[in-house]
Chain A
């Protein structure tokens, strides 16, 4: 998928993917309450595609499990993401893709906050403010062109699924 003609970060550092979550006997037990945890959220977002590279957000270290905070009881999910370069123009799009993925996957009770990892982007506050404005997010998602780009990022990649 091409967004621009020139790549902003032509040679990104590639990180190793984590393995699959280990299944335990308890996971099969229907009587055990199973709250949504950090790993589950991370599994939802780690295979989102980067808008520029044929790599997942996990492989670019844009998302990490340690930057996911879920509180199932309080119905809150917080995700910090780290753009590969501090002036990345794709930061808002990446954040939007993470937000859309979680909005579509999680029960509606969850409040989803997506932020840039503090200090990791030159327009951190502006991007965070935009991502937190649900009215602008709603309007953006009514834009079919933008929605198409977001959906491309969310198409599950055979290598990472």
Chain B
């Protein structure tokens, strides 16, 4: 491990509460955080420090589990345990709640925008994944409800360029969906984890997917098309023995290809791929590790989309930490 993960800043984002999730806007200038205090906070850099620009309150009645920016950066979606998803529209420095998406039976666990910005996916403890279509008038319509998981769905993520969606669940599986004759269908079920799959991330090319789990491993899945039209994914690499407890989140840097994890053992880790290895048998090595990155569980990890090496993590203690990852080539 020659690479370094240097702490730039640590600040209390959700006092006396959990910070569940953080998300960068597409320009990498703003960071949205959400937590158990039902609030969403928007952070911006002021010189060397991070300042809270806006607090979005009163949108949700219960904890806000995850937030996601639209690809244009003008909208923010928030998924809450109150069974709703709020869509916020950015107006100068402020945000207004545009609409509330209802329909899930209980806690909404995650929300994600498709790369075009025309589609939105939500998932819930009610075991379903919903696909919503957005029109020019900012109207949202549910176009599909997919029930491929048998348990609580934890996370949804879109392919970086295509209309391909992946979800993961308490049922230990990952599902990949595509549109088929105006309906969304599960086209592949990725089996291999032995406990809850908490997080998913596509690699910059979109050909591979990384998943992290309560089984303390990370798996790399690769799309292979054996002649047919169906998508088939196979596990090409398992990173085991690195994490002391549940791995809650994983993020593949779109700029550097580095893979970062957030772990229940309080650690933040970065893995680097061996470029010389066989693409069908990739090799990843632990390149940086901060064992006590936070004083409690690390819930989320996010790479800045524009500034290579700028990494953010958040924790059960309500804190956000900003890191600089430097890779020695």
Contacts and interface: CB of A to CB of B under 8 A. Distances in A.
B89 interface: no
Contacts of A135: 65, 109, 154
Given A129-B196, A135-B65, A136-B125, A109 B296 contact: yes
Chain A interface secondary structure, helix, strand, loop or mixed?
helix
A133 interface: yes
A155 to B, nearest CB: 24
B295 interface: yes
Contacts of B265: 111
B317 interface: yes
A108 B295 contact: yes
Interface residues of A, number: 12
Contacts of B65: 135
A139 B317 contact: no
Contacts of B316: 108, 134
Interface in B262-319: 264-265, 295-297, 316-317
Interface string A90-122: 000000000000000000110100000000000
Contacts of B234: none
A20 to B, nearest CB: 33
Interface string B167-179: 0001000000000
A109 B265 CA distance: 11
A108 B125 CA distance: 27
B203 interface: no
A139 B295 contact: no
A142 interface: yes
A133 B245 contact: no
Given A111-B245, A129-B196, A139 B264 contact: no
A134 B245 CA distance: 12
A142 B195 contact: no
Contacts of B81: 138-139, 142
B36 interface: yes
A108 B246 CA distance: 17
Contact of B63 (A108, A109, A138): A138
A114 B264 CA distance: 15
Among A108, A129, A139, max chain B CB count under 10 A is at A139
Interface of A: 108-109, 111, 129, 132-136, 138-139, 142
